Amino acid sequence: MSCSDIEKQVLEKITPNKEYKKKLSQIIEDLQNKIEKEIRKRKLPVKVELVGSMAKDTFLKDNLDIDFFLCFPTTYSKKDIAKNALEIGRTLLTDAEESYAEHPYLRGVFRGYKTEIVPCYQIEKASQKLSAVDRTPLHTKYVKENLSDSQKADVRLFKQFLRGIGCYGAEAEIEGFSGYLCEILVIKYASFNNLIKNAQNWKVGEKLALKDGAHQSFNTPLTFIDPVDPERNVASALSKDKFDLFVKACKEYQKNPSIKFFFPNPVRPWALDKIKKEIQKMYFIGISLAKPNIIDENLYPQIRKTVRSVWESCERYDFNIYDVTFSLNDGLVYIIIKTDKKPLSKTMVHMGPPTTLEKNSKEFLNKWKNDDRVVKGPYQKDERYYVEIKREYTDIKDFLSSEFKRVSMGKNIEKNVKTNYEILDLKDLLIEELQIFWTSYLDGKMSWER
């Protein structure tokens, strides 16, 4: 099947029809009227703006959030704009949940649709911004003025392509492409196909912009200078893993186009016996702890920080670590470590300074000459001092049992770890809750290969 045939099929599935848009427009109009009524009731000089993919007509039929921004004059305090927006949101939305960007805002549901009501300051240009969210109405305006009607289909295709490969969304859980980044990439490359063709040649450190000129440098896998704010990188949330995955997917789609890039088959979990057979060729040890009751935007950075710290701490004590990853299941965070089964030697040689550095040598000798851990030395070899000492830990399970509480981690995870965590042997990791994790981890297939 050709790319054009595949893309036509995809668009038929993801593009909202006229009836759906009409129904949605009515719901949005009703909500806007209700918001404006609440604003009048409070006598607030506030402009209500619909932003995001709905306002730009780039939303996918089955993936829609309604986003209303309440634009306050800059004379209002951040405290006041947050207070008023939260009150209005709680009055109008069900299942309301307070979240936080630079101001608190409200997430909830209106007539079955996920909805956000966000306070911001009304500005004419990004240089006037008092917080990052103030730019969002400018983003909506820019896209509406620069994205042609025909390119809306290209944005939808691109978003669905990213969803299919697991790269859509700038939130902490995904670390991928935001909706706005998708839109300005289509503006830059004019079409979905031209974007994919160009992106297959991207290298880490790729720098893009819609306007010529010198731009600020960012140390990220991809930089795309925000056309409404030249000091901002729109692609700052994109991780290297997701950047690499995206580039690989673009190459593969060019070679072997398939609808599976857009709609992959779900992971079919392997039987536990098959997983057991596979993972016994390696050695894994795990840690489980209660998932903190916090929003994902705070949770995932804390988990990733803990994962990095576990890896670094293990390596500092000479344990050979091949991988550390995590999975969330049934209110638990599982940290899973791939390492060597064989314990470390009981002693280790610790290298000191060259004998020519008298001050350093003296400090080294004084430190180790009466230390209880020393089994040999200090001694000289090849004009350098050495000492052989007993290891504190030879078994990684003993190390984790004693030291995990001391690794650097997010404050909410640290609070949970203080009360309860568990070190898990391989048999404890062979459980139904981790079947999907193990299948994805072990089969090595890309989403489009399933």
At 163, the amino acid letter reads: R
Shortest CA distance to 84 belongs to which of 74, 71, 94? 71
pLDDT of residue 292: 92
Give me the amino acid identity at 156. Answer: R
Confidence of residue 97 (pLDDT cuts 50, 70, 90): confident
Go through the domains of the chain in sequence order and give each one's CATH number.
Answer: 24-145 (3.30.460.10), 151-261 (1.10.1410.30), 272-343+394-449 (3.30.70.590), 347-390 (3.30.70)
Is pLDDT of 219 > 90?
A: yes
| Class of residue 113 by CB neighbours under 10 A (exposed 0-12, middle 13-18, buried 19+) | middle
Q: Predicted confidence band at 1 (pLDDT cuts at 50, 70, 90)?
A: low
Tell me, what's the pLDDT at 345? Answer: 93
Rounded CA gap, 13 and 62, in Å? 9
- Phi, psi (degrees; rounded to nearest 5) at 380: -100, 140
Q: What is the pLDDT of residue 51?
A: 96
| Whole-number pLDDT of residue 100 | 75
Which residues are registered as beta bridge partners of 387?
Answer: 350
pLDDT band with cut points at 50, 70 and 90 for residue 370: confident
Mean pLDDT calculated for residue range 224-236:
94
pLDDT over threshold 80, residue 233: yes
Q: What is the 3-state secondary structure (H, E, C) of 175-218?
A: CCECHHHHHHHHHHHCCHHHHHHHHCCCCCCEEECCCCCCCCCC
Summarize pLDDT for 164-199 with one digit per residue, the tens. Answer: 999 999 999 999 999 999 999 999 999 999 999 999
Give the confidence band of 101 by pLDDT, cuts at 50, 70, 90.
low
Inter-axis angle of helices 272-279 and 435-443, nearest 10: 50
Q: Is the pLDDT of residue 19 over 80?
A: yes
pLDDT category at 447 given cuts 50, 70, 90 is very high
Q: How far apart are CA 210 and CA 312, in angstroms?
A: 40
Q: What is the pTM of this model?
A: 0.90
Is residue 275 pLDDT above 70, yes or no? yes
CA angle 65, 86, 106 (to 5 degrees): 25
- When pLDDT is averaged across residues 270-296 and rounded to a whole number, the result is 91
Report the range of poorest mean pLDDT among 98-112, 274-288, 399-413.
Answer: 98-112
Condensed to tens digits (0 to 9), the pLDDT of residues 306-355 reads: 999 999 999 999 999 999 999 999 899 999 999 998 899 999 998 999 99
Report the residue count for the chain: 450
From first CA to last CA, the distance across the chain in angstroms is 18
Give 382 or 161, the one with higher predicted confidence.
Answer: 161
226, pLDDT greater than 70: yes
| Beta-strand pair 283-290/332-339 | antiparallel
Instruction: Give 387 or 132, the one with higher predicted confidence.
Output: 387
**Percent above pLDDT 90 for the chain:** 78
Is 418 a residue whose pLDDT tops 90?
Answer: no
Averaged pLDDT score across all residues of the chain:
93
pLDDT of residue 88: 95
